[in-house]
Amino acid sequence: MSSKSSIAFFGATGGVTNATLVHTLLAGYKIAALVRTPQKLRKQLADQGLNQSAIDNQMTIKEGNALDVAAVKQTLLSFDGHLPKYVVTGLGGSPKFNFDMCHPLHIAGLDNAEICSTAAKTLVTALQEIYNEQPALKSYKPLLIFLSTTGVTRGPEDVPFGMRFFYHQMLTIPHIDKKKMEDIYRGEIEKPDSVFRDIVGIRPTLLSGTASYTDASGLAGVRSGYEDKPATGFSIKRADVGHWIFQNIINESTRKSDVEGQMVSLTS
């Protein structure tokens, strides 16, 4: 059976995902995180004042790559062979300058231009293999929470007029990958035999601030919307996005069930 208070994290050293992870640790949840450099994650947590005993008692840190099916499977089954209740993924590539004579405005590139979509395929494949090997686990499918971005909506425009040129021209390359990722997850949940119980896509506007969960402005200043009626704005702190995810999706006492199945836009 599924562990009630368990969460698997992919991309845990990223600002938003790391802030979400810290809030879950502070609330006493059990966590498994797959990272390429475990020491980097441990240092991030120590720098934010996390108690070492809490890290040791509540966390299982796996060293590996989220594009490796075997590593993802091991992480998902870290809870005594059970699946986590939630899967949080916030993977992204490292930015790099890009110049293409045919598309001179597409200046924002990534070191891996397909990291989000490849990671999505890997996660789906990992869960499919787990269910094939252990069919009983199909009764305990996790809720997927994944980090996307505004500017890739299928609904009304979710980017303020003054930012549309920047978003739709200069960020074209990373947004192509985000759209592919969304298509994989949204297409998967429409299947009768989906590997997820449900999904929640998080689309923050331009991210600011550091990876520390304390670098927050506060949830009182956060506005949210769904794809049919998005919240539009210019920026939001990473720490606020991570806190919002915890409070509204994960935290047993404050979570909102109507968020499930939605693409949520967030801004300050």
pLDDT band at residue 110 under the 50/70/90 scheme: low
Fill in the amino acid letter for 102.
Answer: C
Grade residue 209 by pLDDT with cuts at 50, 70 and 90. very high
- Whether 1 maps to a domain, the answer reads no
In angstroms, the Cα distances linking 261 to 174, 176, 196, 230, 241 are 24, 22, 11, 15, 18
More confident of the two residues 257 and 185: 185
Q: Tell me whether residue 236 is in a domain.
A: yes
User: What percentage of the chain has pLDDT greater than the value 70?
Assistant: 90
> Is 107 within a domain?
no
How many Cα neighbours within 13 Å face the side chain of 179?
11
Please write the tens of the pLDDT for every residue from 50-101: 989 989 999 999 999 999 999 999 999 999 999 999 999 998 755 555 545 4
**Relative orientation angle of helices 38-47 and 15-26, to the nearest 10 degrees:** 60
Residue 112 has pLDDT above 80, yes or no: no
CATH number of the domain bearing residue 27: 3.40.50.720
Q: Note whether residue 159 is domain-resident.
A: no
With 50 as the cut, is the pLDDT of residue 102 above it? no
- On whether residue 24 sits in a domain, the answer given is yes
Specify if 160 maps to a domain: no
Q: Which domain holds residue 149?
A: 6-94+113-154+174-267
Measured distance CA(216)–CA(237) in Å, rounded: 6
Query: Smallest Cα–Cα separation from 202: which of 262, 257, 120?
Result: 262
Give the C-alpha distances (Å, rounded to integers) separating 251 from 14, 243, 247, 256: 20, 10, 5, 9
**Does the pTM exceed 0.75?**
yes
In a domain, 104, yes or no: no
State residue 101's pLDDT score: 46
Domain count along the chain? 1
Instruction: Note whether residue 242 is domain-resident.
Output: yes
